[in-house]
Structures are given as C-alpha cells and as structure tokens.
Structure 1
Amino acid sequence: MSDDDKTPAREIITDYAQSHFRYFRTADGTVYAQRNGHPVARPIRSQGTTGSHRQELMVGLFRDGIGVFNGTAMKEALDLIEALALTEDVQPVHIRVAPGYDGATWLDLGRADGRSVRIHPTGWDIRTPDPREVCWRRTQLTGELPLPVKDTDGKGIDLLMRLCNFATAETECLAIAWLIGCLAPAVPVPAPFLTGPQGAGKSTGGRMLVRIIEGMTGDLRRAPKDEENLITAVAAGWVTALDNLSHMTPELSDAMCCIVTGAENVKRALFTDGDVFRVGYRRPLLLTGIDVGVIRPDLAERLLPLRLERPRVRRTEAELWSDFAQVLPVILGSLLDLTVQVRAAQADIPTDLRMADFAHLCAQLDAATGLGALAAYRASLDDLNDDVIEGDLLAQTVLRHAAGIEAGTEQRMTSAEWLHCLTGLYAGEECRPLPKGWPTTGKVLSDRLKRLQPTLAARGVLIDWGRTNASRYIEIARPAAGPPPPEQAAAF
C-alpha cells in the first residue's frame, strides 16, 4: 500500500475517540470528554496528574491494539475534536454534588466505577447516573467515600456526636443542619466556625465534618496568603476547610463572604492578549480557631459558630481515625436518611434572616425531628452580633448615643456633624485619644455605618440615609417597642 493510501494518524485517533467518548462543552467554552456510559468527565486540555483525557486516549489506543502515536498526531486530533465539540450543546460539570432530574440531587462517591448516590424526597439509592444528567469533574481533592449503609435508624448521627466534642445540643443540631446543607448544590450554607479552648479538638472535629463529605483524604488547610490562591483551592474541591485562624484581614474576610454566597472571578486566559476565562464558585466553607479578633459584620451574618469543649478522655490519633473510618458508612447512611426526611418536610421560609435558604433548611429539620435548629441558629447570630459590637468601638459609641434617644424618635445630622458628635462622645471630658481606625472624615463614617447597619438594627438602632434641599443627612432612630415578628416570636 502506498503512503497516499494510508489513513492519516490524526483521523485514526479522531475516529477512535468519537466512537469511545462523548465530547461536550461547558458555558465557559471548556471542552470535556466523557467515556461512553461513564459519568466522569475530563477537560481535553488537562495535563493534570489525576489522569488527563490525552492519557486515557493514548492508553485506550494501545490496549485496543490500534497503535502508539506521536505527539503531533495526537495534538492535531485533539484540536479537531475540540473544534467539533464547540458546536455541541452546553452541559455543566460538577464537583461532589449536583442537581438531577425530578428534584433529585446527586452525591459523587469518588469511585472509579462512577457509582453515586441519588437523593430524592422519596428516598436515596446508589446507582451510576446517566451521563447526560450528571457530569462529574474530579481533581486531586476529590476523595473516595465508602458505600453508605441503608436503614441505620439514626445510629450514625449518634456515633458522630460521640466522636465530636460539641459543647451543647444546640451546637450539635447546627452541625447536622450544615452537613445536610452541604448535600444541596443550590443552598448557600453559612461557614461553621469551630471554636473552643486549647485541646478541645477543633481541628479533629473539623476533619470529621469534612471527611463525611470529602472522604478520608479530606483535610484542613492553612489559609492562603492571597485571594487568588484561595479561589484556586476552593474551585478545585467542594468543602474548603481552613485551620487554626488567628487573624482575619479585610481581604480574607471579603473573600470568605464571596465563597459562602457565591461569586465569579474573571482572569486573562494564558498566552492571549484579549481573551478571558471565568471561574464561578460557591462552596461550603469551614473554619477553626480560638480567636480571630474582630469579625466584620458582613462575614458575621455568614458564620455558624460551633463551640467545642475539652474531652474528658483522650485517645490516640490512630485509634480515633480507625474507629471513624469503620463507622463512616453508617454516619453517611444516617445523614442521607435524615436528608430525605428534611427535604420531604414542609416548613415556612423565615424572611428576616440573611441566609434564608439555610434558615429554611433549619425549619425543615425542626419539622422533621423537633431539634430546635432554627432557634439555635437565631441565637448563634445574636451571639455573633455581640462579638461584632464588642470588637467595634464605633458600634459601641453609636449604641451609647442611641440610648439617649427617646423611643419612637429619630435624629438627623450630616455625616460631618455625626462624626463630631460621636467623636466627642467617645473622647469624653478627659479627651482620651482616638483608637486606630476611628473614622477621620464624614464619608468614612458613613461607609462604616453602612457596614454596621444590620448589626445595629438587631440591637434596636435603625440607621438611614436621605437628602434635603440643602444637604444629605444620616438618621439614627430607635423605633417604638412593638410585638416581635411572628417568626421570631415562634422561635423563642
């Protein structure tokens, strides 16, 4: 046979690839390859160590006796495949959890065979999802979960609580609510902040909670030094756990707010001048630490404080994690059972809390079990408000001034006048020096009050902004006392 009659290597590779793999693109234009009948998808341009599509294509060609091809032929074939896939329908890829058909959600067990858990209000079962319903993306952070045990009668939840050192029953039910929220891809959940004295097992408790979702390879990490590295780590996994926080910069605080409620980052694509790529993320976040100093109000509304106490009996690491690995299938099965009950429960949506989806989940958990999760969540937010006020001298000064305002009345002044008033109130007759970070201009004061507005409103001090013909003003008021809203009254 002459060289002209030979089929080019790129065509052999392309024909083999299209007969053994399904190719599609995501909304950002990334092309993925999915082996026929298998739910795991890999980006065709990936060079990662978790197994790239190029590698699996080369292995398939070799094992099927078709041959070994040079890099040029492989590159030309993948270029053609990528161009053809850009005309296919758009389909998203997911890490660990994904929405499915008919109101179901899926949990990726991280197994090589692709078996996953389908969770529905009518029950849960283990099966391999239809590749057109769910496409899993895996990274080095995707650990393998054991097959969960069915019909545990809640035994796994009790086993988990015995292993963790949660201080109160209210803390336990909030931890359970957070774990259930981690199994829902569309529900933003507040970030648990595990606190307690030294030796309370904060890191160990955090690892246990993470490993229920991420498998035994899930672990805690140190907080990255910059936002870009944090976003990269967050986008590559599902639950992100940051250990032993002792200080929280404003930049890190803002980044955490974005992670909890969702945001998108746009960066310049490599080796291009004008093209960009988008990284969207919203992930469950977990933090541990004894004290992080002053907590900013916007982050406080997205936190879930879980206090631990020192255990009376110490155990070795090897013994503890061996026992945890043995009971993890039962814990996961009990969590799935409870998730099914919660999703089937009917409950009103609290409209006065910022994290309304999580508050609704707590209400559903109460309807299914009677644990009192919603009341515990409200109490935790109240405690966080106290922490914010204790760490902010401006908030304390505003509350001190508002205490002298008659209920049902308000005071209006310009921002500069308020700055003079509050500064004088803080300095007092002894003219004590102003603390670092005290507002220096009316504009800075106005911006600080906007951040503190929800925290002060929770303490009965309302702040508003307006304009007259002459100038703009800030209004501080104490509303007349009235009955609490129905939801709050029911909670307490």
Structure 2
Amino acid sequence: MAEEEKASGREIIADYAREHFRYFRTADGTVYAQRNGHPVARPIRSQGTTGSHRQELMVGLFTDGHGAFSGTALKEALDLIEALAMGQQVQQVHIRVAPGFDGATWLDLGRTDGQSVRIHADGWDLAVPDPQEVCWRRTQLTGELPLPAKDTDGKGLDLLLRLCNFAGAESECLAVAWLVGCLGPSVPVPAPFLTGPQGAGKSTGGRMLTRIIEGMSGDLRRAPKDEEALITAVAAGWVTALDNLSHMSVTMSDAMCCIVTGAEDVKRALFTDGDVHRSRYRRPLLLTGIDVGVIRPDLAERLLPLRLERPTVRRTEAELWAEFEEVLPVVLGSILDLTVKVRAAEAETPTDLRMADFAHLCAQLDAATGLGALMAYRACLDELNDDVIEGDLLAQTVLQHAESLAPGASERMTSAEWLHGLTKLYAGEECRPLPKGWPTTGKVLSDRLKRLQPTLAARGVLVDWGRTRTARYVELARPPAPPPTERQQEAF
C-alpha cells in the first residue's frame, strides 16, 4: 500500500472512531472506548478473542461501507486516538455494581441493550445509564441477569430460602443481609462461608447466592494455586465464589482479607522496562467447605459462617435449577425492594465490630424487617472467636494464664519473660513438647499476640504494649467486672 493510501486509511479510521465512539481514560491511564449512547466501555488495547474494541471498530467500518483496512492503518489510528484520549477527563469503569448521581446505585444486568437497574431513595427502575454517570466494564465472567420483577411483596425471599438448606433463621437473615450488601459499591461485606455436613448442599447454595448477582452463568471455582491467580480472577468479576475449601495457607488467608476490605496490586506492565500496572480491587467473596482447618484471627473478623443441613427430600439437578431460573426474576426483584427499604431505615452504627459498614447494614435490616440480623452477626463472630482459640495453643495458654488475674488486675513483663512464663505454663510438670509453630523468640511472641489481640479482647483479656526507661513491655489485663444492671439488682 502506498504511503498516501495508508495515511488516508488512518485518517478515515480515526474520523470514524471519534464520530461513533467516546474515548476516555481511567485513573491508572488505561484508555477506554464507549459507543455513543451505550454504557459498556472496552479498553482500546484489548486483544481479546471476543468483544474487543479493535473488532468492534473493524465491523463498524465494514458495515457502514468504508471497507476493510490493514492492521497497520488500524494500529496507527488507535495510537493517535489513545494519545488524544490521555488529555480527556478521568472517569472510572465498573463491573456489575456502580455508584451513580444523587446517591443512587446501578446494577448491570449484563444485557446487550445496556438496560440496568437504578436503585434510588424512592425505589428502583430499569434504565440505560448515561455514559457520563456510569461506564460498565464487562468480561467473560459478566453473565446476564433477567429483568427483575416488580411488586413482589417479598415473595422472592421465601422462594429462595425454600430452595436453600440453611440451618436456622440466623443463617437465613445473614444470607439476605449479604445479598443486600453485594448491591452496595462502597460497603465491604464479610465473606459467607457455607459449611455443614456432607450432602447439605453447600455448593448448590453457594451457586444460588452467586447467581442472584452474577446470573445463571455464574459458578463456583476451585481455589487458585497462588495469590496472583486469585487476584486475576477477582478483578475480572464482582462476586468470587470458591468451592470445597479444605485448607487455607497463610498467603491465601492474607489475600482473602485484602479482597474483602480492599487493596491494590502493582506489577510491571507488559512489554515495558519501567512502567507498572495498578489493579485496585474490593469484591464480595463467597466460600464453601466442611472445614478449612485453623482460621487466622484477621480472616475470622471478615467471615460470615452460614450453616446448612442435609435436606430430607432430594431433588434432581435439572428440577432444582429449572425452578431456580424460573423464580430468579422474582428473587432479584425482592432483593431490590428490600435494598431500598434497608437504605431508607435509620439505625446506629455499632462501634465495636471490625466490619462496621456491614454491622450498620444489619442494624438497618433489623429496623426495616425485625429479622435480628445484627444479633445473629454478633453470635457468628463469637463462634469464630471460639474456632480461632481452639486452633491456637498460644491463645489457649494466654487465656489460662489470665484466669489467675483478678478482675481489674494487670501484669507487665518483657516479651522474653512472657515467652518463658507461657512456655513453662504450656509444658507443665510433665514437660510436654512444644507444638509446631510455638514462638521461639520474644519478638515472634509479640507479633503473634498482636494478631490475637481482638480475639483475646472478645474473651475479656486485654493486651497492650508500652515502654519504660529500660525496656519495652507487654501488659496483660482483665478489665473490672461491669456493674450489675437494674434487673440483676432486683433479682438480689
């Protein structure tokens, strides 16, 4: 092709692209293309096999009678468009859930026509969002949701709970609270951990909760082998559901903590020597399994145990999923109706819980429905503290030592002295061998106590650190007993 013809093709492509598409950049410098009047945006450098902007541009040019162009002309035109877009205003792209104007929230239904759900103070509506308000980013993990039903009168919640095998009202109301929390773009929600005996339908229940948000194509996955693979999967979708967990490494536990409350991953950009690629993520996480072994204290504060029981009547997979797909529009409509009521309810924010946003949501749910979600959430956190203590011999030994302290008393020692005393207490007169992972230095002991601090505080043992003129110390204290209430005084 002659140089003049190549230049002409480049200009035709650039003019056509700027006429039919809107180009902008995100905070990390990625340039996106958005067809005029449509809310879905695609990165212009995407080389995906389906739905890339390059393919979208080629099809549009050919369909509108401009002909086919060489790869060189396309590349040069996109290079120019990318350079021009770097001077445009920064806008964020969202997967599945996004904040809108005036406090509204948008839910992407994954439809080709762009119809989405706008949740606002007066209710929820179906609409195509203004590109200036919301830009959707879709991947192969973005499934299509049905149009939610209106005026369900809460029937969808009853239909959902009838299909699941939750063992008790506590797990049911916490599952509902989690679904409402998944529709909040700025509310970190704890990760439900569906547990129960074999045959209790943990995987099926996990799929149902996931598919309410992700559509019928949403499914459970095996736990990735490393942290990088987990982060890649999380960044490409909204709800990440991991099935049949039986063990959780320290690295994976820390990664899940970051996923629940939010973090950023930075790695070298491809085909560059000095540039980096930033990836921010905070996503709803769901886990299933019978037992994952020892749970670390920081992850325990971010979990939401949901217990299931074995059903008395078994159904075929085909029957179960056919019914679920049939009632999904009603279920989704009921969740949206409940979300509007919960957000309108006024409630105080509990200040003593780590996941304060979710605790406040539970309080709002109680104010709107009276389900008792906040009490159930506190009870499940208390059970998780028991699990942490049962799996940590150091925590058990510290609690055993604290029993010798009178209420209101405290004891200060250096970390090395604490290590000697706790080791002697654990070994006892029979000189039991120390377990694997027992602290070997005072510094290791101090670090372990920092992780256990919230768990021990929940059992009435306060751990603090300080310094004298000569050395640092660790203080163990038991707070004084609270004064008796009026009812207790009347009982006496």
Kindly state the Cα deviation for residue 121 of structure 1 after the two structures are TM-superposed. Answer: 2.1
| Counterpart in the other structure of 2:352 | 352
CA contact (8 A) 2:7 2:73 kept: no
Matched, 1:457 2:457: yes
Query: Counterpart of 1:147 in structure 2: which amino acid?
Result: L
Structure 1 residues 330 and 429: CA distance shift in structure 2, 3 A: same
Match of 1:223, SS state, is coil
| Counterpart in the other structure of 1:196 | 196
CA deviation string 1:322-342 (max 9, x = no partner) = 100000000000000000000
CA deviation string 1:419-462 (max 9, x = no partner) = 01000100000001111101111111000000000000000000
Q: Trace 1:78-157 onto structure 2 (pairs within 5 A).
A: 78-157=78-157
Matched, 1:432 2:432: yes
TM-score of the two chains, using structure 2 as the length reference: 0.97
Q: Trace 1:67-466 onto structure 2 (pairs within 5 A).
A: 67-466=67-466
Q: Could you tell me how far apart the structure 1 residues matched to 2:444 and 2:484 are? A: 33
CA deviation string 1:374-402 (max 9, x = no partner) = 00000010000000000000000000000
Matched, 1:32 2:42: no
Match of 1:81, SS state, is helix
Match of 1:277, SS state, is strand
Kindly state the Cα deviation for residue 7 of structure 1 after the two structures are TM-superposed. Answer: 6.5
Kindly state the Cα deviation for residue 58 of structure 1 after the two structures are TM-superposed. Answer: 0.2
Query: Counterpart of 2:423 in structure 1: which amino acid?
Result: T
Query: Counterpart of 1:170 in structure 2: which amino acid?
Result: E
CA deviation string 1:438-492 (max 9, x = no partner) = 111111100000000000000000000011011111000001011599xxxxxxx
CA deviation string 1:300-349 (max 9, x = no partner) = 00000000000000011111001000000000000000000001111111
Match of 1:69, SS state, is coil
Query: Counterpart of 1:319 in structure 2: which amino acid?
Result: E
Match of 2:368, SS state, is helix
Kindly state the Cα deviation for residue 50 of structure 1 after the two structures are TM-superposed. Answer: 3.5
Query: Counterpart of 2:224 in structure 1: which amino acid?
Result: P
Match of 1:8, SS state, is helix
Of residues 263-272 and 475-484 in structure 1, the stretch that sits farther from structure 2 once superposed is 475-484
Q: Could you tell me how far apart the structure 2 residues matched to 1:329 and 1:58 are? A: 36
Kindly state the Cα deviation for residue 28 of structure 1 after the two structures are TM-superposed. Answer: 0.2
Structure 1 residues 67 and 484: CA distance shift in structure 2, 3 A: farther
Structure 1 residues 484 and 88: CA distance shift in structure 2, 3 A: farther
Matched, 1:43 2:47: no
Query: Counterpart of 2:421 in structure 1: which amino acid?
Result: C
CA contact (8 A) 2:33 2:41 kept: yes
Match of 1:80, SS state, is helix
CA deviation string 1:41-76 (max 9, x = no partner) = 000000113310000000000000111001000000
CA contact (8 A) 1:50 1:139 kept: no
Matched, 1:473 2:466: no
Q: Could you tell me how far apart the structure 2 residues matched to 1:413 and 1:403 are? A: 17
Structure 1 residues 48 and 194: CA distance shift in structure 2, 3 A: same
Kindly state the Cα deviation for residue 103 of structure 1 after the two structures are TM-superposed. Answer: 0.4
Q: Could you tell me how far apart the structure 2 residues matched to 1:26 and 1:305 are? A: 37
Structure 1 residues 377 and 483: CA distance shift in structure 2, 3 A: farther
Match of 2:438, SS state, is coil
Q: Could you tell me how far apart the structure 1 residues matched to 2:85 and 2:273 are? A: 24
CA deviation string 1:183-223 (max 9, x = no partner) = 00000000000000000000000000000000000000011
Query: Counterpart of 2:141 in structure 1: which amino acid?
Result: L
Query: Counterpart of 2:160 in structure 1: which amino acid?
Result: L
CA deviation string 1:153-212 (max 9, x = no partner) = 000000000000000101100000000000000000000000000000000000000000
Structure 1 unmatched ranges of 5 or more: 486-492
CA contact (8 A) 2:216 2:325 kept: yes
Match of 2:13, SS state, is helix
Query: Counterpart of 1:449 in structure 2: which amino acid?
Result: L
Match of 2:188, SS state, is coil
Query: Counterpart of 1:221 in structure 2: which amino acid?
Result: R
Kindly state the Cα deviation for residue 122 of structure 1 after the two structures are TM-superposed. Answer: 1.0
Match of 1:449, SS state, is helix
Query: Counterpart of 2:146 in structure 1: which amino acid?
Result: P
Match of 1:313, SS state, is coil
Query: Counterpart of 1:21 in structure 2: which amino acid?
Result: F
Structure 1 residues 483 and 380: CA distance shift in structure 2, 3 A: farther
Match of 2:343, SS state, is helix
Of residues 313-322 and 2-11 in structure 1, the stretch that sits farther from structure 2 once superposed is 2-11
Query: Counterpart of 1:307 in structure 2: which amino acid?
Result: R
Structure 1 residues 54 and 149: CA distance shift in structure 2, 3 A: same
Cα RMSD for the two superposed structures: 1.3
Of residues 42-51 and 357-366 in structure 1, the stretch that sits farther from structure 2 once superposed is 42-51
Q: Could you tell me how far apart the structure 2 residues matched to 1:361 and 1:19 are? A: 45
Structure 1 residues 456 and 9: CA distance shift in structure 2, 3 A: same
Kindly state the Cα deviation for residue 271 of structure 1 after the two structures are TM-superposed. Answer: 1.1
CA contact (8 A) 2:6 2:73 kept: no
Match of 2:398, SS state, is helix
Q: Could you tell me how far apart the structure 1 residues matched to 2:65 and 2:348 are? A: 61
Q: Could you tell me how far apart the structure 1 residues matched to 2:430 and 2:7 are? A: 93
Match of 1:407, SS state, is coil
Q: Could you tell me how far apart the structure 2 residues matched to 1:307 and 1:448 are? A: 29
Match of 2:283, SS state, is coil
CA contact (8 A) 2:194 2:305 kept: yes
Structure 1 residues 392 and 3: CA distance shift in structure 2, 3 A: closer
Identity %: 83
CA contact (8 A) 1:260 1:283 kept: yes
Kindly state the Cα deviation for residue 272 of structure 1 after the two structures are TM-superposed. Answer: 1.0
Q: Could you tell me how far apart the structure 2 residues matched to 1:65 and 1:471 are? A: 81
